[in-house]
Amino acid sequence: MSKIAFLGAGRMASAIVDGLLARQVCQPADLACTDGGDDTARTLASRTGIRAATTLEDLVAGADAIVLACKPQQLAGLDARLAELTASRLVLSILAGKRLERLARSFPRARNLVRAMPNTPGQIGAGITAWCAAAPLTAEDRVIISGILGALGKVVELDEPQLDAVTGLSGSGPAYVFEFAAALRDAGVAAGLARDTAWRLALETVVGSAQLLARTGTEPEILRDQVTSPNGTTYAGLQRMAARGFRDLMRETVVAATERSRELSRDS
């Protein structure tokens, strides 16, 4: 694997570093990081053995790929020297809402630009990341991108216009799942269970159901119907969800997040 520099050392950068090291895609000596002054680089370096760079020149020295892992709003304020320092290097951005066209203005001499949308389960290697490139990747650069993003979990290549919908679905999606789990817990309490019992039951139900979906590869509607007896308890619950427009609500939720992603992309 080529040497990789991380501009930012927060949760997603840490997740990528952990994944790269755990999968032995890279050694600590292959990786360097820096931060915006919040001491996250020193913390990450101390924990993993990678190098905490002291200057931008130190960060990119020998690096073949640069991962933009700072906050999206920090892009406009990045050191102008990066335009030259990233010349002939592969630049991978995980900055939400920052389009390739915008990235090209900050890194005009990069050999290629890749925009990616990971999600938070990537912190434990269980995420899914969609990505697109400004130009077709060489075989060597495709290996680099697959290695970096694969450290977070599964990977899918899409056209850039689809990334706003990805943001609305899988990027924001973990929050929807967490909210559903919390609602299931609270519903259990309302039905008469102690809170800790309701939470344990809700958590294991969500985790187990997701594992069943993933391992069987069965359509969710089929698994749903296997649980549902005519006029039974599950049927009664599903009828109430349908009456309240549960699927319509989820559709509106994802569309709202997608539209907001488009707005943010235009503003940036």
Backbone angles phi, psi at 118, to 5 degrees: -85, 175
The pLDDT of residue 1 is above 80: no
Summarize the confidence of residues 144-158 as an average pLDDT: 97
Q: pLDDT band for position 37 (50/70/90)?
A: confident
pLDDT at 206: 98
pLDDT, mean of residues 110-138: 97
Q: How confident is the model at residue 36 (pLDDT cuts 50, 70, 90)?
A: confident
Phi, psi of 2 (to 5 degrees): -70, 165
Last residue of a domain, one of 125, 159, 193: 159
Q: Give residue-wise pLDDT tens across range 74-100.
A: 999 999 999 999 999 999 999 988 999
Q: Which residues make beta-bridge pairs with 156?
A: 130
Q: How many CA atoms lie within 13 A of 209 on its CB side?
A: 16
Query: Pick from 159, 194, 216: which residue ends a domain?
Result: 159
Kindly state whether residue 101 falls inside one of the protein's structural domains: yes
**Number of structural domains, the chain?**
2
pLDDT of residue 267: 64
Q: Is residue 26 part of a domain?
A: yes
Range of the structural domain that residue 38 is part of: 4-159
10 Å Cβ neighbour count for 244? 9
Of 132, 159, 186, the one marking the end of a domain is 159
Claim to verify: residue 104 and residue 214 sit in the same structural domain: no
Average pLDDT over every residue of 241-257: 98
Given this model, what pLDDT does residue 265 score? 84
Q: How far apart are CA 197 and CA 129, in angstroms?
A: 34
- The count of other CB atoms within 10 Å of the CB of residue 250 is 12
Instruction: List strands edge to edge, sheet with 31-34.
Output: 51-52, 31-34, 4-7, 65-68, 90-93, 112-117, 127-133, 153-157
Does residue 198 sit in the same domain as residue 263? yes
Residue 268 has pLDDT above 70, yes or no: no
Q: Answer yes or no: is pLDDT of 196 > 80.
A: yes
Pair 255, 204 in one domain: yes
**What CATH number is attached to the domain comprising 140?**
3.40.50.720
pLDDT value, residue 266: 81
> Tell me, what DSSP letter sits at residue 39?
S
- Can you give the CATH number for the domain in which 223 is found? 1.10.3730.10
Cα–Cα dist 60/62, whole Å: 6
Q: Do 253 and 185 share a structural domain?
A: yes
Q: What separation in angstroms does the CA of 100 have from each of 78, 131, 139, 160?
A: 16, 11, 20, 8
**Cα–Cα separations (whole angstroms), residue 182 to 186, 205, 238, 249, 251:** 6, 12, 18, 17, 20
